[in-house]
A and B are shown apart, each in its own frame.
Chain A
């Protein structure tokens, strides 16, 4: 019994850690895509933010300054995307891919130039990372048998994990309950109607991209200064694309997107535990098959179980005012 409980709890624990950057990035994508701008550049923005966070945290000794730098870097990249897509009506997929390729090259190059450690930043020691924090009453709960175990897993994550947890209801509230959210949804569906109402479409989309940059910055900082301890080349390892898939999977809605991210993270945690374990019927499954599990699941779910994913209607189309 206690073995099973421990297994389940550690799985949930791992799921939460892996899901955090996915959730933050997917919510970032939600702002952008709901406003009508395709965001395949999540990967690049996260990578840029991860590098900025690690570099600044190492130099200044403060993860908080690193976080500020990460948000600044991701926002700057989001603005470049905005300039190409909103101001100059460029192709949004091309611009996003350009960001990904740019950061994949630029981040290690800068790291090499500044730290000469082969495209990495130096390892971040204690005090330069976001450390686990204990929630109130952690000690009191620890005495209670089962509840203590459970609460022991809720407490003791770093602050960015809690930030991601809070961001989901917060984003849902902004999108569904505020004037900005209403306009944001409208501009993604029918920008000309919004324009007719006297609201500047471009400005609204730029504001959506500011929110996008903020959340991407958090996601990147999590990778290099909270979950990891330093920047390594290509450390996002496809998480930006996975977040985008989760967003589509979640039909561009905050809560279903969260569930999609948790599902991806869960399969990841599962595959770490399934490697080299003999299963009842199948016997020992080869590593390759287990590592393909998250992707296989994505294809199956997207193809069969999700139903039609309705994208915001104006997505990908630059808004040009009719003359």
Chain B
């Protein structure tokens, strides 16, 4: 009898230990990022996410999983495999992952997903979008303030509403400083290949410099590297995008329109860990520090104190709602 009771107690204990083990496993926090084409070292959009994830790793000591999509067919597979291997939260980078995410997020209703730059309306998906037009407005102002010819340029990647929103905000900012400023605008292409064609980007930038522009803003992923290079080669100014690209060509990159994808990724991981993560749409603008412009040692000499003060004032006005920057995606047209 005693032995039998003893057995039962042991079994109960064992079960308890097992249950506790399972509970611990369920609580184990596994964050993951699925980078988009361009890769995590694209010096731009994806690299910003990488930096955010690395910061989280450093602060919390929790390693994250990642996957780099290298062709268009891989996106859905990458998301599904990452989910199947038991991630707690998965960050999907870029608008192109919206469609695959719609399928995969339904298959894994218990996993949290955060998508950057697109909106997916599902109960387990958080969508993070940025007010690119606000950041672009500020760098547009700086472009017009720095231009000696009164002509500034914009080179976009693929011709999509998101990129038009960059162009539109930029134009509005430039016009706000100087109503007579001429804004040249070129799109690299209409297919995803337009993100990866630096020679074409360089040619488009040169065509704008030839027409008299002396500052060109690139919102074109890796194609933008060609724009920045052309500006450097010709002794003109360029404006980087997404990540701080000032260091690529110090003295030639006037500033960078920073999109704090790193902060968005860090916050998504952090809130998922402490339980305050919420699904739904988050739109990050200047007021939320989601977008901004980069000022560091590399471009300090290019930005005058006067220009800096004007940008700071405009920033405050936008935050306060005194300046309303038109969003191309909402208005479907641009005021200028």
Task: Please measure, in the bound complex, the distance between the C-alpha atom of A194 and the C-alpha atom of B57, giving whole angstroms.
Answer: 69
Tally chain B residues at the interface, Cβ within 8 Å: 34
* Contact present for B186 and A123 (CB under 8 Å): no
* Contact present for B40 and A287 (CB under 8 Å): no
> Residue B99 at the A interface, CB < 8 A?
no
* Contact present for B70 and A291 (CB under 8 Å): no
Cross-chain pair count, CB within 8 angstroms: 88
Contact of B210 among A14, A108, A233 (CB under 8 A): A14
Task: Please measure, in the bound complex, the distance between the C-alpha atom of A223 and the C-alpha atom of B201, giving whole angstroms.
Answer: 13
* Contact present for B193 and A118 (CB under 8 Å): no
> Residue A196 at the B interface, CB < 8 A?
no
Q: Which of B108-116, B222-230, B284-292, B308-316 contacts A (4 or more CB under 8 A)?
A: B222-230
* Contact present for A116 and B229 (CB under 8 Å): no
> Which residues in A have their C-beta under 8 angstroms from that of B202?
227-228
Task: Please measure, in the bound complex, the distance between the C-alpha atom of A227 and the C-alpha atom of B186, giving whole angstroms.
Answer: 19
> Residue A119 at the B interface, CB < 8 A?
yes
> Which residues in A have their C-beta under 8 angstroms from that of B206?
14, 17
Which residues 96-124 of A have a CB within 8 angstroms of B? 108, 112, 116-120, 123
> Residue A235 at the B interface, CB < 8 A?
yes
> Which residues in B have their C-beta under 8 angstroms from that of A117?
39, 41
Tally chain A residues at the interface, Cβ within 8 Å: 34
Would you give the shortest CB distance from A147 to chain B, in whole angstroms?
A: 20
Task: Please measure, in the bound complex, the distance between the C-alpha atom of A18 and the C-alpha atom of B233, giving whole angstroms.
Answer: 16
Q: Which residue of A lies closest to B229 (CB)?
A: A229
> Residue B197 at the A interface, CB < 8 A?
yes
Task: Please measure, in the bound complex, the distance between the C-alpha atom of A273 and the C-alpha atom of B207, giving whole angstroms.
Answer: 7
> Residue A288 at the B interface, CB < 8 A?
yes
> Which residues in A have their C-beta under 8 angstroms from that of B200?
237
Which residues 161-210 of B have a CB within 8 angstroms of A? 184-187, 189-190, 193, 196-200, 202-204, 206-207, 210
* Contact present for B41 and A272 (CB under 8 Å): no
Task: Please measure, in the bound complex, the distance between the C-alpha atom of A13 and the C-alpha atom of B203, giving whole angstroms.
Answer: 10
> Which residues in B have their C-beta under 8 angstroms from that of A67?
none
> Residue B106 at the A interface, CB < 8 A?
no
Which residues 227-258 of A have a CB within 8 angstroms of B? 227-230, 232-235, 237
Q: Which residue of B lies closest to A231 (CB)?
A: B198
> Which residues in A have their C-beta under 8 angstroms from that of B203?
14, 17-18, 268-269, 272
Going nearest first, the 8 A-B pairs with the smallest beta carbon separation are: A118-B39, A10-B210, A117-B41, A272-B207, A118-B41, A229-B229, A276-B185, A228-B199
10 extra A-B contacts, CB within 8 A, seeds A235-B197, A276-B186 = A119-B39, A123-B225, A232-B197, A233-B196, A234-B193, A235-B199, A275-B186, A276-B184, A287-B159, A291-B189
